[in-house]
Structure 1
């Protein structure tokens, strides 16, 4: 039986909160008052029952992605599969790696189809789908770690930029990570693609076999984890500056490859106070602390 999700306007009267089980969305639309109201109603309608749709195909969604035609039936489930397939040739990945971004896209799509909006976003725990019309922009904050309210810097996404998805992954997030990154934020054409790519890059930020890194099988922490017996990171001890740089470089190399393949627009990688920025302009800037740095995508996303 379909549950009734929690749906309410936040205290500011502008943003909509949608919550059902593990799915927790913050939604905002700007435009004509009637259009915004209609968009919020469309979001609520599409959100109702969405978790049940996903749960009905959960066994398939937890299997390693296969480039062959998907047996998945749901719109969001198929979007999840399509988002991760480009990464499946060289990496272990399941459609679950794109679930947050795919859900955000689905709700945003329902809103935009309802009527004209100047701009809108759906934020699913830090994985964000964006809608922009000409001349509009979003300012997006970058967090030092997903589990802490520590804003490092902001970036601006303009309407004429290709990016419409932002996602963050790392060992402090809601999902398990095979790597040691505190946070990896990825910009991509879609939220589902950004979500999958952030997972892959965060996994690549690593120092295999290092004694300061505590790992355990994923199924010991969550019996039904799609990662099974794969070792996930539970703690990272003291690392030298060179070790931090080596781990970040491993992740940056992965990000460069994905950028060259057109799978991402850019990424920032964060570990123990050090940051590396990978952009389509080829500018890669390691920084310490919370110093200001620049993210550029076709020269248009910047601090």
Structure 2
């Protein structure tokens, strides 16, 4: 049965929106909650169908297509800075959907706090004294209205999407969810040991025939690694993440591989790498 967009109010006054592969949890604090939920539900009706017509171009690397759909435009903008690595706009799809639903709510309402969680890729709105707490690889991360973070995303080979790297998890804080989504994907790809015998890989198309990664190899298993190998892989990811922080694309990142964690942040020192 082909089910259309579904909306359900959950305990804790959260809204659940579901349609095909899109599964959102939305939370709003303040008097505008019900109005925000109504707006989000209305906007959600055409989210999936609006993207379908753009998929052929969204699955192409460095596509210069003239996108019509606003979510597709968000996806294309998010990957535009990455000219030296393989990436398609699909790397930003979950974050861009979250950003779009949040923007729809904020167009007419101004709650003190709101979030749209799309399978772990989160778009945030915070004002006044509002805070948001997310559980990352190294523990809780608290975000307040004063920091330039309005998006959170996590990627890794164990996640719901294919990864070309071996990171267990990479959590990124950025100015938008789409920006965080792309950065988390690419940093997770950079945490890698090319050709290592402990890493099992398969062609992306063998796992998902419509994958935007095509014939590229993606990670399907990582055996126990030596401490030196773990440090080498994390160092590679750290180097790439440092460049993104330096360019202002992300604010903070936490990388995790087999029990070892690295944290990089623009505050207090840009590019500072701390061992956990």
Classify the TM-score, shorter chain. Answer: over 0.9
Measure, in 1, the Cα distance between the counterparts of 2:224 and 2:132: 37
CA drift of 1:55 comes to 1.0
Q: CA RMSD in A?
A: 1.2
CA drift of 1:114 comes to 2.3
- Partner in structure 2 of residue 64 of structure 1: 61
- Please give the TM-score of this superposition, normalised by the length of structure 2: 0.96
1:284 aligns to 2:273 (yes or no): yes
1:227 aligns to 2:213 (yes or no): yes
Measure, in 2, the Cα distance between the counterparts of 1:116 and 1:215: 46
CA drift of 1:185 comes to 0.4
CA drift of 1:3 comes to 5.5
Q: Which aligned pairs between 1:209-228 and structure 2 lie closer than 5 A?
A: 209-228=195-214
Measure, in 2, the Cα distance between the counterparts of 1:227 and 1:141: 29
| 1:110 match: secondary structure | helix
Measure, in 2, the Cα distance between the counterparts of 1:3 and 1:10: 19
| 1:135 match: secondary structure | coil
Q: Which aligned pairs between 1:235-246 and structure 2 lie closer than 5 A?
A: 235-246=221-232
- Partner in structure 1 of residue 259 of structure 2: 273
Q: Provide structure 1 residue ranges, at least 5 long, that are not aligned to the other structure.
A: 145-151, 288-303
Cα deviation code 1:55-103 (max 9, x no counterpart): 111111100024x4x321100001000001101x110000000000000
Measure, in 2, the Cα distance between the counterparts of 1:136 and 1:30: 9
- Partner in structure 1 of residue 236 of structure 2: 250
- Please give the TM-score of this superposition, normalised by the length of structure 1: 0.88
CA contact (8 A) 1:3 1:49 kept: no
**Aligned counterpart in structure 1 of residue 168 of structure 2, from 177, 182, 197:** 182
Measure, in 2, the Cα distance between the counterparts of 1:217 and 1:63: 17
CA drift of 1:45 comes to 0.4
The alignment covers a number of residue pairs equal to: 272
- Partner in structure 1 of residue 71 of structure 2: 76
